[in-house]
Amino acid sequence: MPDFLRFMSDIIWNSVMIYLLAGAGIWFTWRTGFIQLRYLRHFGKSLKNSVTPQPGGLTSFQALCTSLAARAGSGNLVGISLAITAGGPGAVFWMWISGLMGMAICFAECSLSQLYKERDAHGQFRGGPAWYMAHGLGMRWMGVLFSLFLLLSYGLVFNTIQANSVAHAMSYAFSAPALMTGIVLAALVFLTIIRGLRGIARLMQWLVPLMVVLWVLTSLLISAWHITALPGTVAAIVKSAFGWQEAASGAAGYTLSQALTNGFQRGMFSNEAGLGSTPNAAAAAASWPPHPAAQGIVQMIGVFSDTFIISTCSALIVLLAGHHSVDASLEGIQRVQHAMVMLIGEAGAGVVAVAVALFAFTSIVGNYIYAENNLIFLRFDTRFTRWMLRIVTLLMIIAGSLIGFPVVWQLANITVALMAMTNLTAILLLSPVVQLIASDYLRQRKLGVRPVFDPRRYPDLQLMPGAWDDVPKL
């Protein structure tokens, strides 16, 4: 079974996903006028009044933290270790490139989700890829297909990955029984997800920044401790990315294809750009300024933070320890723990265990929010179905702590690709609308006024009633 899944994963990624992801990144970078470079300075303006509750939606900061909670999971630790193991240090370079292009993709999908959002029965904003497929493209069947892929991924497979990483980390560091770890994690998740969307968002806006800061500070301190090795590590990343290191030494090593494929694959799995998950959080925000592009810019910061800060910190830990020196018999998170032990001693295993437990906890909670959101689109949002989803989520957490590591990750690679292919196809078809959103935002910025989206200027967009009706007109 693992061999078959690996075969399917390799076919999908090597023959479709790499080209689709790179092509979409280049396309939206060009169509939006290099949005990830030009608009990054508007981040502060887009988060203005972000801590003040807005009627009908989350604040921009809450939406950002909620999406970052789902992003910042075991992929930032385990995934980076896997990428370096399979593709060498050069995989980190291509992860950066995928992150840079992913920022433009994230802007596109999150702006579209803001544009085509609607209010649910409680007045809360809802939206995401399924909504812009149904209303923007007029293809509800496509939205249904995407929602099913998302429920499979975020309701089932991804939660097993997070739990698997925590169980392995706790076993390595503290000899904790895997089943006990799974039960405790499931209990904590349950106590959180019953709080509802707004309750979860309020918790994430405090927990996620604290979690990220602690991991980044840990990495910076270790890097400062081994500062003499940093220049060589950075050089290895660049040289290995293009095969120069192996060509110069004459040794057999990682090829450009290995580095590129693994860098893009793990980068996308980590920052989720193009996957279609983040738009579910972006649509729930009452964006400020009241313009779809503003939330797209905010969510770009999530990709930047995940790829260039969190994942890079994890990569430095593995590379500074010498990825060839890490015990090859170890799998996943235990490789990162072994690397940390080599750098700071036995306490390193516990540090990583605590970090991955926090990352996995927030990620599972974020996953649940996305899955529940798509139940609403499928019109299955009843008390019974919500509780069924919660029960399945908890069962998958416990099961994930017990099942084998390779099977889980290969399943994740396949489900990620299915979601991404559906979502990327949709946003590419809607690229004229993305360009319209970006142009309208930039036009108002150039005029020196606060950008406000006026739906009366674009009557052909077929927006949902109530989504933008109460926005102040220019």
Q: Is 70 exceeded by the pLDDT of residue 326?
A: no
Which range is least confidently modeled, 110-114, 268-272, 470-474? 470-474
Which range is least confidently modeled, 232-246, 346-360, 434-448? 232-246
Beta-carbon contacts of 103 under 8 Å, excluding residues fewer than 6 positions away, are: 35, 36, 273, 300, 303, 304
Give percent above pLDDT 70 in the chain: 85
Q: Is 60 exceeded by the pLDDT of residue 282?
A: yes
- For residues 212-220, average pLDDT: 91
- For residues 153-169, average pLDDT: 88
Q: Give the residue among 115, 67, 109 at the shortest CA–CA distance from 281.
A: 67
Query: Using one digit for the tens of pLDDT, what is the confidence trace for 48-63?
Result: 655 565 666 788 888 8
Query: Using one digit for the tens of pLDDT, what is the confidence trace for 345-403?
Result: 888 899 999 999 999 999 999 999 999 999 999 998 889 999 999 999 999 999 988 87
Residue 329: how many CB atoms within 10 A of its CB?
8
**What is the structure's pLDDT at 381?**
84
What's the Cα-to-Cα distance from 359 to each of 163, 295, 310, 356, rounded to whole Å?
A: 11, 24, 11, 5
Residue type, 234: V
Confidence grade of residue 252 (pLDDT, cut at 50, 70, 90): very low
